[in-house]
Structure 1
Amino acid sequence: MSTTTQIVVSAPTSDFALILNWDEHPGNARNWSSFRKIYTTLIVSVIGFISTLATSIYAPGSDDVAREFSVSLTYSLLPLSCYALGMGFGPMIASPLSETLGRKAVYLTTVPLFAIFILGSGFSKNIHSLCACRFFAGLFGAPGVSIASATIADIIPADKRGMPLAIYYSIPFLGSLTGPMIGAVIVEEKGWRWTQWTTLFIAAAVFPLLGFIQESYRGVLVQRLTKRASVERPAGTTRSKKALLKHFFTTTTSRPIHMLFTEPIVGFVCLYCSFQFALLYTFIVGTPYVFTTTYNFSVSQQSLSFFGLVIGALCATAALIAMDRIIYQPKYLNFRQTTPTLEFPPEHRLYPSMLGSLIIPIGLFTFAWTARPDIHWAIPITAQGVAMLGSMMTYVSANMYMVDTYGPMYGASAAGANSLVRYVLTATFPLFTLQMYQKLGIGWTASLLAFCTVGMVPIPWVFWVWGEKLRGRSRYEKEM
């Protein structure tokens, strides 16, 4: 049964108070046709795929970069880390900017700039220019990942987000895992520069399709509607351009950092999810080393060693969708029937995360002590897939919990904080992963990572028990 609600657009999303029958308004992104919703979700997911593909597609070419520019192997991995660092800082501006100017404006501005710096990376003449171009490519590629989840939250209500967000959050993992597989073939046939140009060609093919998506953020849509209708603003609520600029830099750009350190849900979700993503990049950098030194894999065989991780990621996506349909949706419908006036607790999003937290260490410990010449290579590859299954279930579920907790209004800022921590760790891990494998050995390196995941197992379980109290203390209102 549909209900008509009056929504007051408050100061964070508009400069004046306005009462609208927004639930039934044709301008509401949640009233779009199914085709437009699917198209928008697909396009922003593809942009996210390209952005993360660009991170890891470079990795197989690092040996060639080291030889061409006469630098060490660790130094040759810096462009990978610089891109990840750019991916971390980009959302600090882009996410709150999308809450000020709208999602579409940010997409249309950043994607061409991303392509320009990817082009520059391919033409770089030294390691310094390559690092600089890769950093700015990551900076402008980041919004494709960080604000896409907020876009999906704009157009799909909380109870229907399970499948779209499960698919979307799988994209960064699949993009990062596909990158080395594609990159290895390209490097062997064409050289490392073509890893950059291949990324450029894909981005150029997708960019025109962005022009057909519509603005989805409620605050911006309401502002446009009232301006079009010539609604008079109350006295004292109109801001000058200087005041708006000051508000943006003093409030909205600092919001992700503020949420990171003052909101326990944001802080611990960022910590847990960031480690999962950094773990992914230890596989990206370490897997070729493990299977080359242990099983004498060639360059092309190294790319095949990622199939276990890819299959694990695909199984995680299927498991997330199944758990949404079998567990979350029935509980949601039952809750709506018994208590229709109350909010369905977002903690119900945590079922996959709680299960995944137990699966990750099992996969990592198995990988640690089966990657040996006397054990067939298929066993450690399978163990990697199990670890990736648990890692993705944890990552996606925790992110959906955070989106449901803060909604579209502050969801992009929370995602921006998540991206910052995630990619700072991602930038750091590749620089010491190989040294860890070389000094500690495969068994103890993977075991050390497994022990870290054991220490983080309680995080989703704590949210399940005390999440409601933590949400009650939040300084950030929720917008459904």
Structure 2
Amino acid sequence: MPAFTATSDKCSRKERRPANSGQSNSQRPLNWSPLKKVYHTIVPSLFAFLTTFSTSTPEPALPSLIEDFGINHTTAILSVSLYTIGLAIGPLFLVPLSETYGRRWIYVTASSSLVAFSAGAGAAHNFAAYLICRFFSGCLGSASIALGAGTISDLWPPGEERAVASLLFVACPFLAPSLGPLVGAYITNAHGGNWRWTQWILVFVGLPIWAMVLLMQETMAPQESHRFSRKMSANPILLPFRMLFSDWIIMALSMHTSFGYAIIFSFFSSFFYVLKNKYGFETREASLCFLGLIIGYFLAIMMFLVMEKTIVGSKRLTSEGRTTPERRLYSGIIGAVLLLVGELWYSLASHWASSWHVLASSGIFVGWGVLELFLSAMTYISHIYPPESVASAIAANGALRYSLGAAFPLFTVQMYEELGSPWASGIFALLSLLLMPIPWLLCKYGERLRRSIVSGLPCEEVPTTVSA
């Protein structure tokens, strides 16, 4: 499913029913009251926070898992990796169904499943049962991550309001995994090293969010009666796969953002390894160093808001008083540079730095760069795709992103043990350098890509909804 900027003359001459047909103006989500729209933005953001918070919370409790179940470190890491694989798989099946049958019932099912399987994982008496509950908790709860992007497109028109709403939704899933190890370390220590509390805390946090989800209303408008919608509904599950492997824009952005996200997951393992072995930190002390990532996230948010207001949203920069979607990639160009700086800093500091402060500071640039990349990519996607396919575009991105996030922790520690901290971090820096031109290339050729794809499509695949 490619990006769209215009419809052909042949298509435009066809009579089509207006969007949201069958609904009065007041019933359409775009025309809801501001308070109602804010509520339906905050709840998916909190749900996405809970979903991603669960990815890294068990990380500090791995020694407890190893002792309790008699397993090795690589096997224990599966508690993180299988959950993350569930996050990659789930949206590919759940999100396209929401675009055909509605979003609310999937939100309710997903939030109920996440809380229930987290409770099951906390009560598990063998490692196999624990892993099964972790996988299904991630798989069925994963809809929140990609579904929220579609919900925001349902509620907010293209422009500054949608950008701010998207910022909130994107920031929550990034903030959560970095807080997970910190919360997991302290709650495990407070309960005598009992790993089960890393799951009970998810239940306690999840129940209020689940109650808020129950109060949500449907935001997905009835499907329009044109051929595009009928074709999309006929093959809803195939849409994210098609986007990931045939759309150059989605493919390129997914590669870059997925690598950045995987770097964050590798940090969870490598930080613990380096800080414990070089500086003699214990688990709680090491987890505090993840605050550098969080500082970087807030810097990314501030930069994004400033650029959205001054560069992207400036009407003086266009003759027609409208911005182009590719301007939303400017912050991604900066983010790519910051990510490379952070990786080089981490590589050098892990070998030469005598103070742990220097090493921990590298996380600021890594977090700043990764979130800047992701904010740029997600807002760009939400502005070039019609609302009825935004969630599938995000699901396609998430499939690759969480697959890499699941894989990287499985070999990070072994990589640092075999190569040493400077060389292992240097490899990640080299990959950052190779991927750095992607947002610049899309900024330069993105409009041409969108137009060439649209011109080659048969009429029935061109949607009526066009985003600025």
- Same fold, TM-score > 0.5, yes or no: yes
| Partner Cα distance (1:19, 1:351) in 2 | 34
Cα distance in 2 for partners of 1:188, 1:373 equals 32
Mark the CA change 1:157 to 1:24 in structure 2 (over 3 Å): closer, same or farther. Answer: farther
Query: Which of 359, 365, 372 lines up with 1:386 in the alignment?
Result: 365
The farther-off stretch of 253-262 and 124-133 is: 124-133
Structure 2 counterparts to residues 307-386 of structure 1, below 5 A: 307-331=291-315, 335=318, 338-339=319-320, 344-372=323-351, 374-386=353-365
1:199 match: 202
- The C-alpha deviation readout for 1:43-89, integer Å capped at 9, x for no partner, is 11000000000111011111111111111101100011000000001
Distance across 2 between alignment mates of 1:399 and 1:96? 18
Structure 2 equivalent of residue 10 of structure 1: none
Q: Give the letter for the 2:105 counterpart.
A: A
Which residue does 1:183 correspond to in 2? 184
Amino acid at match of 2:38: I
Give the secondary structure class of the aligned counterpart of 2:313: helix
Residues of 1 paired with 2:289 and 2:431: CA distance? 24
Cα deviations by residue, 1:393-417 (Å, 9 ceiling, x for unpaired): 0111012111211131211111111
Pairs within 5 Å for 1:206-217 = 206-217=209-220
Instruction: Quote the RMSD (CA, aligned, Å).
Output: 2.5
Residue by residue over 1:15-43, the C-alpha shift from the partner in whole angstroms, topping out at 9 and shown as x without a partner, is x9534697992222111111112111111
Given the alignment, which residue of 249, 253, 257 partners 1:273? Answer: 257
Paired residues, number: 442
Contact 1:145 1:172 (C-alpha < 8 Å) held by counterparts: yes
| SS of the residue 2:235 aligns to | helix
Tell me the distance in 1 between the aligned counterparts of 2:59 and 2:262: 15
Is residue 406–residue 477 contact of structure 1 (8 Å, CA) maintained in 2?
A: no
State the one-letter code of the partner of 1:403: S
Which letter maps to 1:162?
A
Matched, 1:44 2:25: no
Counterpart position of 1:157: 157
Aligned counterparts of 1:264 and 1:247: Cα–Cα separation in 2: 19
Contact 1:356 1:389 in 2 (8 A): yes
Select which of 336, 361, 381 maps to 1:402. Answer: 381
2:66 match: 66
Counterpart residue type for residue 212 of structure 1? L
Match of 2:445 in 1: 466
Q: Does 1:422 align with 2:401?
A: yes
Would you say the 8 A contact 1:291–1:305 is kept in 2?
A: no
Contact 2:20–2:28 (Cα < 8 Å) also in 1 = no
> Structure 1 residues 140 and 321, CA, compared in 2 at 3 Å: closer, same or farther?
same
State the Cα deviation string for residues 286-334 of structure 1 (Å, max 9, x = none): 2111111111111220121111111111111121112111211114x75
Q: How much has 1:144 moved relative to structure 2? A: 1.0
Q: 1:361 to 1:254 in 2, by over 3 A?
A: same
Q: Deviations over 1:320-375 (max 9, x none)?
A: 112111211114x754xx426xx742111111101111111111111111124752
Instruction: Give the TM-score normalised by structure 1.
Output: 0.87
2:309 partner amino acid: R
Deviates more, 1:428-437 or 1:404-413: 404-413
Q: Distance in 1 between matches of 2:208 and 2:243?
A: 36
Partner of 2:95: 95
Match status 1:259 vs 2:246 = no
2: CA distance, partners of 1:364 / 1:344: 33
Per mean C-alpha deviation after superposition, the further-off stretch among 369-378 and 395-404 is 369-378
After superposition, the C-alpha distances for 1:250-272 in whole angstroms (9 at most, x for unaligned) are 61101100111111011111111
Q: Distance in 1 between matches of 2:175 and 2:94?
A: 23
The structure with higher relative contact order (CA 8 Å, sep 6+) is: 2
Contact 1:295–1:373 (CA under 8 A) maintained in structure 2: no
Q: Are residues 21 and 206 of structure 1, via their aligned partners in 2, closer, same or farther at CA, if it must alter by over 3 Å?
A: closer
Give the partner amino acid of 1:168: F
Rounded to whole Å, the distance in 2 between the matches of 1:85 and 1:133 is 13
What corresponds to 2:17 in structure 1? 18
2 CA distance for matches of 1:310 and 1:259?
31
Contact kept, 8 Å, 1:357 with 1:391, in 2: the verdict is: yes
Distance 1:21 1:390, change over 3 A: closer
Distance 1:33 1:121 in 2: 40
Extract unaligned runs of 5+ from structure 2.
1-6, 8-14
Match of 1:125 in 2: 125
Q: Do 2:351 and 2:422's aligned partners in 1 also have CA atoms closer than 8 Å?
A: no
Equivalent AA in structure 1 for residue 167 of structure 2:
A
Structure 2 residue matching 1:375: 3-state secondary structure: coil
Q: Does the Cα contact within 8 Å between 1:158 and 1:404 map onto a contact in 2?
A: yes
Contact conserved, 2:300 with 2:369, CA < 8 A, in 1?
Answer: yes
* Code of the aligned partner of 1:264: W
Q: Is the 8 A contact 2:81 2:407 kept in 1?
A: yes
- Does residue 218 of the first structure (1) align with residue 217 of the second (2)? no
Give the TM-score, by structure 2 length: 0.89
1:247 Cα deviation after fit:
8.0
Q: Could you say if the C-alpha distance between residues 20 and 381 of structure 1 is closer, same or farther in structure 2, counting changes exceeding 3 Å?
A: closer
SS in 2 for 1:252: coil
Asked if structure 1 preserves the Cα contact closer than 8 Å seen for 2:353 and 2:359, the reply is no
User: Structure 2 residue aligned with 1:302, among 264, 277, 286?
Assistant: 286
Paired residue secondary structure (1:218): coil
Structure 1 unaligned runs (5+)? 1-6, 8-15, 224-233, 238-243
